[in-house]
Amino acid sequence: MKRLLIVLLAVAIGLSVGVLGGCSTQRGNDTANGAGTAGNPNNSATEPPAASANMSTADQDFMNKAAQGGAEEVALGQLASENGQSAEVKEFGQRMVNDHSAAGDKLKALAQKKGVTLNDAMSSDAQKDRDSLAKKKGKDFDKAYMAMMVKDHETDVKEFQKEADNGQDPDVKAFASSTLPTLQDHLNLAKTTKDGTKNEGKAK
The radius of gyration computed from the CA coordinates of the chain, to the nearest angstrom, equals 34
Model pTM?
0.71
Closest of 108, 99, 124 to residue 63, by C-alpha:
108
The answer to whether the beta carbons of residues 145 and 156 sit under 8 Å apart is no
Is the pLDDT score of 44 beyond 90? no
**Domain locations in the chain?**
1-32, 56-197
More confident residue, 50 or 191: 191
d(CA 171, CA 179): 12
**Residue 19 burial (10 A CB sphere; 0-12, 13-18, 19+):** exposed
Is the pLDDT score of 22 beyond 90? no
**Residue 164 burial (10 A CB sphere; 0-12, 13-18, 19+):** middle
d(CA 101, CA 83): 20
Is the pLDDT score of 36 beyond 80? no
What pLDDT, on a 0 to 100 scale, did the predictor assign at position 200? 64
Helix-strand-coil split of the chain, %, nearest 5: 80, 0, 20
In the 8-state DSSP scheme, what is residue 32?
I
Q: Mean pLDDT over residues 10-25, rounded?
A: 48
What pLDDT, on a 0 to 100 scale, did the predictor assign at position 45? 46
- Given the candidates 1.20.1260.10, 3.30.930.10, 3.30.450.40, 1.10.3720.10, the CATH classification of the domain at 56-197 is 1.20.1260.10
